[in-house]
Amino acid sequence: MVAKLNQIIAVEKGIKSGTLRDLTDAHHGLQKPALLSGISRTYQPKDEEGEQLPPESTRVQVKADEVLRRTAEIMTRLFDVTATKDWANCAAKADVVVDGQTLLRDVPVTYLLFLEKQLTDLHTFVKKLPALDAAETWVFDDSADAWRTEPVRTIRTKKVPRNHVKAEATDKHPAQVEVYYEDVAVGYWTTMKFSGALPARRINELLERVERLQQAVKFAREEANGAEVTDRRVGDVVFRYLFG
C-alpha cells in the first residue's frame, strides 16, 4: 500500500516522541555502573573440614553493544520516516486557486504552511484597522488625501453685561440696578473633521479577501499533502557507518 504525505506527517510525531522516550531509557541504563557490572566467585575451604559456602554471581544487566544496536534500531525508523517526509516535501506542490483564478502555481507544501501562518497574522492585523466613526458622514478629500466630514457652521457667542433697573432713583435712594449677562453672537465657526481611518466597508472587504485566500491555501496544502510518497531507507546506511 502506497502511503501519502499527510499519513507520513501524522505518523512522524508519534515516532519522534517514542524515539525520545526509548533513547532516554537507554541513556539512563548506561549511566548506572551496577547494571553494566557482573561478578562470579566460588569458595573453596582450606581443608575438607572447613565451612562450605555457595558460589556467588551477579549477571550483567546492560550491555553497551546491545544498547548501541537498539539505539540504531530506534533511530533508523525515525531517520527513515523523516527522510520520506522531507523528500516528499520537495516534490509536493499545488496551485493556490481563488474564485477559479490561479493565484500561485506549483507552490511547495512547506511554503503553503508559511503562507497559512502569515495569513493568520494578517487577518488579526486587518481586523484591528481603525474604522471611521459611523456617527459621521464622510467623503474623501483628494486635496487633503484623507476622509473628511461636510462643513458644519456653528455660532460663537460672547457674554455681554446688561443692566436691569429694578427701581428708579428717587430723592432719597439711588437707582437699584442688577447686572446680568446676555449671550450675544459675535462670529461663526466652520468645522470639518478629518480622519486617516478606513470605512468599515473597506475593512470588511479586506477581511473577506484574506479569508478567501486562507481557504484557498488550506485546500492547496491538503492537495499537496495528499501526494503519494516513496519510502526512503537512509537510517540503516547512517548507523552502519556510525556503529558498524
Domain extent listing, the chain: 1-46+53-92+229-244, 97-137+199-225, 151-191
Residue pLDDT, tens place only, 110-127: 999 999 999 999 999 999
How much of the chain, in percent, has pLDDT values that exceed 70?
Answer: 99
Question: Per-residue pLDDT averaged across 52-69, rounded?
Answer: 85
Farthest CA pair distance, the chain: 160
Q: What is the pTM of this model?
A: 0.66
Question: Per-residue pLDDT averaged across 9-24, rounded?
Answer: 87
Residue 1 has pLDDT above 70, yes or no: no
- DSSP assignment letter at 51: P
| Segment of 5-14, 35-44, 113-122, 180-189 carrying the highest mean pLDDT | 113-122
Q: Judging by beta carbons within 10 Å of its beta carbon (0-12, 13-18, 19+), is residue 132 exposed, middle or buried?
A: buried
Confidence of residue 2 (pLDDT cuts 50, 70, 90): low
CA angle 190, 193, 194 (to 5 degrees): 135
Ordered alpha helix ranges (H), 128-234: 200-225
Residue 170 has pLDDT above 90, yes or no: no
Confidence (pLDDT) at 121: 97
